[in-house]
Structure 1
Amino acid sequence: MTLHKRKVLFSATVYAHLAAFHKPFIKLLQDKGCEVYAAANPDHGRKEEIEELGVICWDIPFSRSPYDRANIQAVKELKRLFQTHRFDLIHVHTPVASFLVRYMAKKCGQGPVLYTAHGFHFYQGASIQNWLVYYTAEKLAARWTDGLVVMNREDYQNGKRLGFKEDESLFFVHGVGVSIDQYGVRGDANIRGQLGIKNSDVVITYIAELNRNKNHLFLLRNWKGILQHASNVHCLIVGKGENEEELKQYVEQNELNHIHFLGFRHDIPMILSHSDIVTLLSFREGLPRCVMEAMASQKPLVVTNIRGSRDLVQHGINGFVVDLEDDHALTESFIKLIRDPKLREEMGQASFERIQPYRLENVLLEMEDVYMRYLSSARD
């Protein structure tokens, strides 16, 4: 079914979020004949990637913090946008931006609003403050939300707590999808050679923004213990972030060997192809893309026992799931994988089998079904 003349708005705090996760879904709607707009803050870059798709962009000064006065100006800009355009569907992402957009969309008489929760900020183990602020906000915003999309089991249950109805206004999808075919191919680049890592050495790769939530220190403080059992191990830390200097200083001050900071990279499939084990030890996730990419690359994983990560990694099957701050379990999990190439291969194959429902083409079909529920009845 074509949807000519339908106007759809995608919104998130920053364009970088839309560029990283939602270009395939923008293209899906454009292929259906929709005219797609985007509203976000340009401060973190990648706006040009959205514009190159033929999307009409409207800059809104959203802030990630719900306490930032910049959000007052964001509301004013949203009002101007909604007085200028009427959208047949609005798809919102990220907590603060989605709250403001949902409120103003209903206030200004826009079409239905769909919200994808990429991991609610209230979750098992979250602080009381998070529950007070974010759960209360989502409970309030539920009245302005026509459909809620979630991507892990815990958020699905919380969606029902918020009053959404299964398969009526609450939809489970397998994340934002992963293009499996681009993984598992080594290519010409040799990351091991560039870093002086032998082919016989074991490479552990940690792909994540360098911030407190990603919990790099959990691995770093146990690194010497790991090397005591196996000295032929290297760790690649991939990403940038506010904690970069602090982490580098920790490595230097504690004289940790075989730690390589690679910064932000565009060649993640190649790096994964040269890795033996992938880890992510976050305090909070929604459904981590880097874990899905590792699974598509047929790698075993070591992850923390948190929402999202435990949806993807089954303990003892395609990796190990360890409790937060359990130093012994973390070290033991790595040692098992480092010492046993056959176990790595078996768990890597299990990862590949478990990732199949998360293929991008499957997720596009899931989201197309959700979109059509709202757009098929839109005005002509």
Structure 2
Amino acid sequence: MPRAVRDRGDRAPVPLALPGGGRLLRRILLLIKGLGRGGAEQLLASAAPYLDRGRFRYEVAYLLPWKDDLVAELEAAGLRVHCLGARGPSWIANLVALVRNGGFDLVHAHSPVPAIGARVAFPRRARLPIVYTEHNVWERYQRATFWANALTFARNDHVIAVSEHVRASIRYPVPLRRLPMPTVETRYYGVDPTALASVAPVDGVREELGVPSDVPVVGTVANFKPGKGHRYLVEAAARVRRAVPDVRFVLVGRGPTEPDARRWVRELGLESSFVFAGFREDAPKVMRTFDVLAVPSVHDGLSIALLEAMSLGKPAVLTRAGGNAEVVRDGEQGLVVPRADPDALADGIVRLLRDDGLRVRMGTAAKAQAMGFDIRDAVQRTEEIYEGLLR
């Protein structure tokens, strides 16, 4: 393997044939931009325990060396991890070398930039199937990414959209309407119910966060990015606190807009009501302390934190952004409000905080609904797609 490809795995290679002379394992390369703690990245880690190692040999490649939070977790799950490097277009050459030297049979990309590189590097004549999971709506991409993605999109052999909203956004711009559209299907990835069932009790979490045991908690779990809508949650919090003075807001995550969120909290005099919890390995455990989950997104594909909270029996107040409203029926498993509307967001939060019975009923319904979003089903369907393409 060329030096330019940093190999993050030092274990012996997995045998390519099954014991006893069985069929060869097909090699699958999972390709993503970074391995930080984002939704798409976390899905790779959640899926890892359920990959069929009797049929496929999986490895992971990523571009951004500084986004490596999940490398150790993936390696512990038995996946070899490679960093392709992100300086200029050289990572594409590193990808080509990795695929050729590793003898990969299929590439599954989870981010538009590496997917674009794979499509360019391996045209149809290369006979390398490419599967692409679309995690975002097309209108959210920067102009260059949007056009490069659209121009190369027909090279995909199969596309998985994480929600119907995402699927509906996949449309060629007018100048490209003559390009063929690959097969696109919607697949809700879901959560790992086994892992969530083993989440430890919440003893000590409130104390650690400085939250009294007898006050209501509204929480959100999302990286700090413009599309996640933290500003609208902060604005809603001012109104919620007037109705429920002892409420606390716990924000789990990190990201570039966190300083802005802290400033908004200070400007509204809400410091005593907010806890910035940062990144938490035990985010589901922290979610157990929430009375209500807030999902104030302006743009979203499908919030994994929402599905996790539902699995834990937590009702949510969420915006009609992306696929989130596809998994929660308004008034049944939670409350769905318009995007970028802090007053509506506040009204929903206050309603749930003031009505214990409603909160319990919706939490119970949310837990039942979440049972239909199982990462194991998504893995099984994805591997069926691989099998079909590799016949």
TM-score by length of 1: 0.85
**Structure 2 counterpart of 1:66:** none
- For residue 261 of structure 1, the aligned residue among 276, 279, 287 is 276
Q: Alpha-carbon deviation of 1:344?
A: 0.5
Task: Give the C-alpha shift of residue 210 in structure 1.
Answer: 1.7
1:154 aligns with 2:165: yes
Question: 2:336 matched to which residue of 1?
Answer: 321
1:297 aligns with 2:321: no
1:183, 1:273 within 8 Å by CA — same for their partners in 2? no
Q: Distance in 2 between matches of 1:5 and 1:327?
A: 52
Letter aligned with residue 329 of structure 1: A
Match of 2:71 in 1: 47
**Residue in structure 1 matched with residue 43 of structure 2 by the alignment:** 21
1:184-218 Cα deviation digits (max 9, x unpaired)? 95516322233443443211011111222212110
Question: Counterpart of 2:12?
Answer: none
Please state how far the C-alpha of 1:358 moved relative to its aligned partner. 0.6
Match of 1:91 in 2: 108
Equivalent residue for 2:9? none
Query: In structure 2, do the counterparts of structure 1 residues 28 and 346 end up closer, same or farther at CA, with 3 Å as the change threshold?
Result: closer
TM-score normalised according to structure 2 size: 0.83
C-alpha separation in 1, matches of 2:54 and 2:137: 30
SS of the counterpart of 1:294? helix
- 1:275-302 residue CA offsets vs partner (Å, 9 max, x unmatched): 1000111221111110011100111111
Give the whole-Å Cα distance in 2 for the aligned partners of 1:153 and 1:337: 28
Note the alpha carbon deviations across 1:112-140, whole angstroms, 9 max, x for none. 11001112332xxx5xxx48545533332
Match of 1:5 among 16, 25, 39: 25
1:45-194 alignment, distance < 5 Å: 45=68, 46-62=70-86, 70-106=87-123, 109-122=126-139, 126=140, 130=141, 133-159=144-170, 163-164=180-181, 169-179=183-193, 182-183=196-197, 187=201, 189-194=203-208
Corresponding position of 1:222? 236
Q: List aligned pairs for 1:212-361, cutoff 5 A.
A: 212-256=226-270, 257-361=272-376
Contact 2:28 2:57 in 1 (8 A): yes
CA distance in 1, matches of 2:23, 2:135: 27
What's the offset of the Cα at 1:25? 4.1
How far apart, CA to CA, are the structure 2 residues paired with 1:3 and 1:159?
Answer: 37
Q: Between Structure 1 and Structure 2, how many residues are aligned? A: 360
Q: Which residue of 1 aligns with 2:13?
A: none
The answer (yes or no) to whether the contact 2:134–2:160 under 8 Å persists in 1 is yes
Counterpart of 1:351, as a letter, is A
Distance in 2 between the 1:35 and 1:114 partners?
16
Secondary structure in 2 aligned to 1:303?
Answer: strand
Whichever residue aligns with residue 359 of structure 2, its letter is R
Structure 2 residue matching 1:11: 3-state secondary structure = strand
Segment drifting more, 14-23 vs 228-237: 14-23
Question: Does 1:37 pair with 2:40?
Answer: no
Gaps of 5+ in 2: 1-17, 173-178
Residue 3 to residue 366, structure 1, CA distance change in 2 (3 Å): farther
Give how far 1:97 is off. 1.1
- Structure 1 CA distance, aligned partners of 2:23 and 2:132? 21
Structure 1 unaligned residues grouped into runs of 5+: 63-69
Q: How many Å separate the matches in 1 of 2:386 and 2:248?
A: 45
The two structures, once aligned, show a CA RMSD in angstroms of: 2.6
AA aligned opposite 2:223 = E
Question: Are residues 1:374 and 2:385 paired?
Answer: no
| TM-aligned CA distance change 1:5 to 1:193, over 3 Å | closer
Percent identity over paired residues: 22
Cα distance in 2 for partners of 1:326, 1:19 equals: 29
CA displacement, residues 317-348 of structure 1 (integer Å, 9 cap, x when unaligned): 21122212223211211111111011111111
